[in-house]
Chain A
Amino acid sequence: MKRWLLVGLLAFFGLGLAQQRGGSITIALQTEPAAWDPTQVAGADISRVVYDNVLQGLVKRNPKGEIVPSLATRWTVSDSGLTYTFTLRQGVKFHDGSDFTAQDVLAKFNRARNPDTRASGHLRPDLYRDIADISSPNPSTVVFRLRQPNNDFLFILSRPESLIGPRQRPLAEQRVQPIGTGPFRFAGWERGVAVRLERNPNYYLPNLPYLDRVNFRFLGDGDAQLAGLRAGDLDVIAYSLLPENAVVLSRDPNFKVFSGSGTAEAVAGFNNSRPPFNDVRVRRAITLATNKDELIQGAMLGYGTKIGSMRSPGEACYVDLSNFNAYNPDEARRLLAEAGFTNQNPLRFTFNLAAEFPYERRIGEAMVAQLNRLGPLQVTIQVTDFNTWIQRVFSQADYAMTIIGHVEANDIGNYANPRYYWRYNNPRFQQLFTQYLRAPNQTKACEALAAAQRLLAEDAASVWVMSLPALGAHRARVQNWPDSFLSPGISVAEVWVR
């Protein structure tokens, strides 16, 4: 009798707490990407919409940043680190009704590793260079054989570029209407307005997703987003909520502000290849002259996490270097004097800002004000549009100093590429990064990555100002919004509305 009572009570409360199915929400998105297939076009906003909502890969990164099963239910790695064997989920269908099979996986990764990107239309074949061979010994198994161990291999398979579509799907169609296996199907794209997702009725996980429809509405203006949220036209501002708006909304019971550490580092980058920033004393002086606490408090109203190297606190193998080269104006002046720059003969340079990014722009402007306060520095700001920034700073490295958010997770490897726009060329770092990639186990890998983070900080290769906050807000009726932000996607499968 007692047992039945317990069961009854559990059932009662269980039902009381049960997630409601149905309904729709509208989420604000800051920019409108040029296409929606992350294998063909890169961009954080593409992943935010399609990753694990529409398109899925063998594995995925969950909101906590952990690599977990997706289209593969489990996998094993050989002791040599050279063979990865994935067991595929059975009975999965693409949104067009066709079956997801091992052949789709083979076709996808053979396309991905084809070095001729013009033929494959696939971005970043360099990521898949270590794949020697892919095979499918039986319909539920896929085996990757690598040329050499690669500690990032599972991470690479969790990247947006590794999402899988039907092998027959023409690329041009996949760009504008991606077909995948996710909980939502891509229902439509109204250029300049929104993307519409609808429930996938054949989704393989029972009872998911909860919502019938999810709209992603493109609204570039932060104040327009706020107005839309307050008026009820928007349910969620998923990211890039302006700090001052967050403060206002957090006082209102109709809204819930969420914030946390994501994977975006605000990197104030130097051109390491040119005077004056090819001199480590000058780079260190700029780092020491930067008061990160003040920037977080003043420019971001306390939102943001102080860091000291190219990694955010939520990421694996993170080393806390936030107080390394901490604010010390006297030491900064001393180092600058040593390099020949004084109040009488100040170091003059231009600091490039891209207009489109509200966080980086305000952080950059405040940072320049701090540098100019020091004495021996005379920094001028140059604001351009993002496309000009990409051309001058990113492609041609025709700049002295700049700031931009690097959203991608685990992107410290960019410092191992001397052609990258920081033009940081340190063989010791490149060696450490290779050690990390080829390490025989996770412990050794993390040791190498920790050393790499420290080396970057000692070298003051950039000023890592802060890990930018994942800052947003939703209406109170929205339930179960993810509270971690380490996935490339805004996964809404388990979100529901009251």
Chain B
Amino acid sequence: MAVGLRHFTARAGNGVGEPILDTDNGEELVHVQPSVSVAVGNRVPESPGTLYITNRQVIWLSELDREKGYAVGFLSLSLHAVSRDPEAYPSPCIYTQIETEADEVEDESEDSDSECSEVLDLSKIREMRFIPSDANQCVYDSVFPSTMDTLFQVFCECAELNPEPIEEGEEEGHNWIFSADQLEDEAGAGDDVEWHFSQNPTNTIGHSNGHHDLASSVLELQINDQRFDDAEEMEQDTDTGHHHQSQQ
């Protein structure tokens, strides 16, 4: 399910304007925050851009490089927090953790990898920081919420708009009651097994009395006699019907 971080370049107005959203499917812009730097993984912050928060995802578009932009869906955002401790990070920022496909697999120190490699593999990025340039202003202003608090609130509200979709396969897995079709199939299969078992005791009884010769002659007689065959078939039918009833 987790898609993780991805590149985003779809901008309106010949590539200079706002991000192109999936408005046909109900995506709406919720908040725009100019002058926000972004730090991907533990890389250095990139030149400022604009943060667009929609009801589906967070999009950051660079101001300088029109080809540069990132997006992450709220379904992939495991955690977001207001980080103001200079020991944790030099600038106050919105810290986010991103769930990636690779999270299913064993963690192989991606932090050092992503720093060394020339090509940035966004699908392996597990952290991202949004650093508003005016973050230090009004931080302790209790009357007007700071940019950070506003951003945090918007992130929260939009995250709540994106609950985990119920996966169909999962739903079936939890379902302990089989469908009516399955029930019938099960009953049919069970019937065959039952039938063989119920035949066995009859044979055993026939042979267990010690008169083996008598038993086999009777069997021959039955096989050669059409009337007995019919009778036996009828008996089988009755038996099968009985089992069906007891199973359902």
State whether these chains interact: no
